[in-house]
Structure 1
Amino acid sequence: MAAADLLVVITDVIFARVGGIYFPVSFLHITHVCRLIPFLVFASTEASVWLTVAFTFDRFVAICCEKLKTKYCTEKTAAVVLGTLSVLSCLESLPWYFIYQPGTIIDNVPWFCVTEAYFFNSPIWAAFELFHYILTPCVPFFLILLLNVLTIRRILAASRVRRGLRNRSNGENHKDPEMENRKKSIILLFSISGSFILLWLTKVVYKMFARIANIQYYTSATDSNFITEEISFMLQLLSSCTNTCIYVLTQTKFREELKNAVKYPFNLIVRLVKL
């Protein structure tokens, strides 16, 4: 999931945003390339969203489904889920590649990307766009909320039982490390689902409004619709950074794996030098 979030930053922020603004005439604006960038943006964004759902479901199974836990929470299952969601994200995002046409042709090379008129006028494309935003992120909204509510309810119920048993055996309310871990789990689940929903909500509402109101062009950079759209994009992109930051702050194992990933190239160089 952190890798998918990083791909969102690379494709959407670096290629689409920074490349489009600060390098107005570069290879990024060749038609075949600038067609590919939106496809990569949508595919990586969709993978990031659905991997968040997969993570939430994994936590739900690990905490609430003891019998299924031993079969589902394995490296093999994780690899299958990661591969399946990545392939499906690419397939669902593929139509975005075909909504652009060349803006001009220079020396037989097509340059720039102009949105085809039929994208705004075709009911088929309107239905596809609606389906896209229902699939990502409206359905994940519902699934993440549902799974987190069920998981937190199970944690609270188990915590009440554990607290009662400890009070009966000890007669005092000592600090319980297990209870502290459960509180951290609840905070983690709330943080992920809450930030995900809040940061995506503006974009979803605006995109549906733009399609209903048939907003195709902006009069200027001070147009209220343009400003709203850019703010919604900024918030949505922030959602790709918050999950990784949350893991770094709350998960000891994640911090250890991140340190190992950073150290690996240097350790490899040291081993090669010693040889």
Structure 2
Amino acid sequence: MAVTDLLVVVTALFLNPISGIYLPVSFLSTTPACSISTVFIYSSRDCSVWLTVAFTFDRFVAICCQKLKAKYCSGKTARVVICLVCALGCLKNIPWYFVYEPVYVINKVPWLCNIKLGFYASFAWTGFDWFDRVLTPCIPFILILLLNALTVRHILAASRARRRLRAHSNGENQSGPEMESRRKSIVLLFIISGNFILLWTTYVVNIVYVRITDGSYFKGFNFNDPKFILEESGNMLLLLSCCINTGTYVMTQSKFREELKNALKYPLTLIVKLVK
């Protein structure tokens, strides 16, 4: 999840605005490179969103479905889910490569990207655009809300049961390592899921607004236009969501911090071995 979140930030910030501002005449400005970068941006975004859904479902199973927990909540299942989500996320966004055409051609080299006029007139491309917007983030938005609601209901029911049990056992302490681990999992679940819901709301509102008003997504840089402010605010909060998720793992997960330290130390260790 941390890797896909970082990929969203890197691809969305470096491959588009930063390269356009500081490297205006480079390989990244050619039409094929521009089209590929768009595929990377959408793919990393989808992987980040759907891994958040997978994480929410994993915690739901671990907390609410004890019989399924032993079979589903395992390292093997996690690896399969991660590979499947990433593979489908990349395959689903390949059509974005064929959406763009060059703005101009110099010495038979196509430069920059412009959406083809046929994209807006074609029924197939319109259907794909609808499919993309519904699949990410509308469906994940609904799934995360639903899974969190079911998890909260289960936690409240379990808390009432524990209170009754403590009353019958003369107030003995029922807490332990398992309860502490469960509390940490619940806190992490609601931080990540709540962050996703809050910071993606503006983006979802913009999608719904465009569809209801039968309009289009704003093009241009009129900083005083409410449509431009709404759309760019949604994009900014989307990137902020990914930054916060990565920071959350660093602050809350000791294993993540340990692996991050190992990754930072590895180049130095390799250099020392080569020198010796």
Same fold (TM over 0.5): yes
C-alpha distance after superposition, 1:208-235 (max 9, x if no partner):
4345213564373443322322211101
Aligned-pair distance for 1:170? 5.3
Closer, same or farther in 2 for the Cα pair 1:242/1:219, shift >3 Å?
closer
TM-score norm. by structure 1 comes to: 0.88
**SS of residue in 1 equivalent to 2:102:** strand
Instruction: Pick which of 155-164 and 125-134 moved more.
Output: 155-164
Aligned-pair distance for 1:134? 0.9
CA contact (8 A) 1:218 1:225 kept: no
1:16 and 2:5 are equivalent in the alignment: no
Structure 2: which 5+ residue stretches go unaligned?
A: none
**Equivalent in the alignment of 1:252:** 254
Alpha-carbon separation, structure 2, partners of 1:239 and 1:202: 12
Please give the residue correspondences for 1:18-167 in structure 2 after superposition, counting only pairs within 5 Å: 18-167=18-167
Aligned residue identity for 1:92: K
State the superposition RMSD in angstroms: 2.4
Aligned-pair distance for 1:240? 1.1
**Equivalent in the alignment of 1:226:** 228
Count of residue pairs brought into register by the alignment: 274
Structure 1: which 5+ residue stretches go unaligned?
A: none
Aligned-pair distance for 1:143? 1.3
CA contact (8 A) 2:59 2:185 kept: no
Aligned-pair distance for 1:103? 0.8
**SS of residue in 1 equivalent to 2:103:** strand
Instruction: Pick which of 56-65 and 104-113 moved more.
Output: 56-65
Instruction: Pick which of 190-199 and 104-113 moved more.
Output: 190-199
Aligned-pair distance for 1:49? 0.5
CA contact (8 A) 2:2 2:249 kept: no
Alpha-carbon separation, structure 2, partners of 1:257 and 1:158: 34
C-alpha distance after superposition, 1:82-111 (max 9, x if no partner):
111111111111111111101111111111
Alpha-carbon separation, structure 1, partners of 2:227 and 2:219: 9
Alpha-carbon separation, structure 1, partners of 2:125 and 2:165: 59
CA contact (8 A) 1:43 1:90 kept: yes
